[in-house]
Amino acid sequence: MKKRNVLVEIILSLCLIFNFTLSAENLFAADAAWLSQVGAKTFPSGVKIYRVNDYGASKNKLTASTEAIQKAIDECSANGGGKVTFEPGIYHTGAIFLKRNVNFVIGDGVEIRALIGLEYYPEIKTRVAGIEMKWPCGIINVLGQENVAITGKGTLHAQGKYNWENYWNLRKEYGPKNLRWAADYDCKRVRTIEISNCKNITVKDVTIKQSGFWTVHIMYSKNATVDGVIIRNNIDGKGPSTDGVDIDSSSYVEVKNCDTDCNDDNFVVKAGRDADGLRVNRPSEYIYIHDCISRKGGGPLVIGSETSGWIRHVKVENMKAIGSAHIVHLKSALTRGGGIEDIEISNTIGEDLKNFIKVNVNWNPTYSYAELPDSIKDIPHHWKVLLEDTGKKGIPTIRNVVIHNCSATNVRQEIISVEGVKESIIQNFKIENVKVSAQHAGDLKFVKNFEFKNVEFLTPGEDHLKVSDSDHVELEDCSYSKTALAD
């Protein structure tokens, strides 16, 4: 298997050298080789049950059960593993830490509610939005462990609205000071499930509500499965940065049968930001996302903007997007470096979207580019990291993307918007068997080797695709037709 992956890398490199665009069939000929390796390969097999109620956990009371829950986890793991369970009811807890061979079961009729306040979530060394720094731990943490599961048909209510309010208050303060780029790092918020430096981790069937920040964060890990998870973060408001599933410098991850409604990216792959991400230099690769629904949020596939360690070998299929921003959103910035390559999305449908395909190497400048006002002298360490110049290493690469057998209706803006820059030409896209109705066809800037085959552009004005500063853009069996959009 390792030899085959090396062979694929060599073929891809040669194709780039000789300016050859791979077909969908050739580019993903090795799918079967790595797809069989994604996801958790072990699952906690212990059958002994450790009920948190027997350790002093209180149900249907405002009493914190953090200590009792942790005791049950610790004893379960120390005895070789098993199931940590709850009697039906409502439980309140701060941060808990799962350990090896534990299946943490949030069963039907169980609701775990997170305690409100950062004091319940001790700070740890972690990575947040691409930068390693001290940050509050999650509500449920799996740190440096193997063979752990979080399962059950119950609910984890993150009660994260206070995190949202803190963030918007800081944005109001930082905006006039031209510190938009620092707000996301200075306002510390609580992730819901934090998985870091782990192997063989499963999250299955739970419902998660109102995350204060990212919901399921898989970082520096290998062989993880997220299956059948329901995320409902737009509860009593719209929380900023409430991503659904974040795959961050991790490999062999499978996400399936999930249904996410959030206020940021639904399913997103990341690999570090700017100088710090280039220092860590750890990719996200061999990612399989399929048979999921994205509702409000970024869409079925978002990659970036943290691309410094490279993101590659991502396959997405059989997805639905209902009210999402995009079907595909690939984004980076001119300080990130690294890049995105070897991406496939297929058999995906959308309705009521913002755009169908969006690709940008100069994404969100006020957030992406740190610039210190002259009036500020004494700054924290993570500001210094964000301000570090990446020079030419900061220019990202986006290449080798196949999008096929997809459709969308009632797209409010453009079918395709791809914006490279002179320093970073976006290369080698194949878009095939696609039908989309939208306000505009869209535009391509600074791209090379783009092939459209059997694509139907349906717009009210019969718009044609606008192409500028680009080479080798081919349209075969494509059509432009007039259509009406829903109000």
Q: Which tokens sit at 98?
A: 């799962």
Contact 68, 92 (CB under 8 A): no
CA-CA distance, 244 to 435, in Å (whole number)? 27
Q: Is 373 within 8 Å of 177 (Cβ atoms)?
A: yes
pLDDT confidence of residue 4: 44
Ordered domains of the chain (ranges, CATH): 24-43+132-482 (2.160.20.10)
Sequence-distant (≥ 6) Cβ neighbours of residue 380 within 8 angstroms: 186
Q: Where are the alpha helices (DSSP H) in 392-467?
A: none
pLDDT at 22: 46
Tokens, residue 208: 């998660």
pLDDT reported for residue 31: 65
Please give the chain's pLDDT, 487 residues, in tens: 444 455 555 554 554 444 444 444 455 545 668 999 999 999 999 999 999 999 999 999 999 999 999 999 999 999 999 999 999 999 999 999 999 999 999 999 999 999 999 999 999 999 999 999 999 999 999 999 999 999 999 999 999 999 999 999 999 999 999 999 999 999 999 999 999 999 999 999 999 999 999 999 999 999 999 999 999 999 899 899 999 999 999 999 999 999 999 999 999 999 999 999 999 999 999 999 999 999 999 999 999 999 999 999 999 999 999 999 999 999 999 999 999 999 999 999 999 999 999 999 999 999 999 999 998 989 999 999 999 999 999 999 999 999 999 999 999 999 999 999 999 999 999 999 999 999 999 999 999 999 999 999 999 999 999 999 999 999 999 999 999 887 6
Cβ neighbour number for residue 144 with a 10 Å cutoff? 14
* Whether 403 contacts 454, CB under 8 Å: no
Tokens (6 digits) for 8: 């694929």
Collapsing DSSP to helix, strand or coil, 165 comes out as helix
- DSSP codes of every residue in 59-80: SSSSSB-HHHHHHHHHHHHHTT
The helix/strand/coil state of 26 is helix
The predicted pLDDT at position 28 comes to 52
How many other β-carbons are positioned within 10 Å of the β-carbon of residue 444?
Answer: 23
In 204-296, which ranges are continuous DSSP H helix?
274-280
Contact 331, 303 (CB under 8 A): yes
Q: Within 13 A of 473's CA, how many CA atoms are on the CB side?
A: 16
The three-state secondary structure class of 3 is: helix
CA dihedral 445, 449, 455, 461 (to 10 degrees): 20
Q: Tell me the three state secondary structure of residue 296.
A: coil
pLDDT at 470: 97
Q: Which of 7, 19, 2, 33 is CA-nearest to residue 400?
A: 19
136 half-sphere exposure, CB direction, 13 A CA radius: 25
**Phi (first) and psi of residue 242, to 5 degrees:** -90, 60
Would you state the pLDDT for residue 6?
53
Q: Which residue bears the tokens 């410098």?
A: 249
DSSP notation for 366-406: HHHS----TT-----HHHHHHH---GGGG--EEEEEEEEEE
pTM to 2 decimal places: 0.94
User: What is the reported pLDDT for 7?
Assistant: 52
- Closest-CA residue to 93 (of 73, 50, 64): 64
Cα separation, 426 vs 44, whole angstroms: 44
Tokens of 170: 């800081």
Tokens of 28: 């993903």
Tokens of 250: 């991790």
What is the rounded distance in angstroms from the CA atom of residue 239 to the CA atom of residue 262?
A: 8
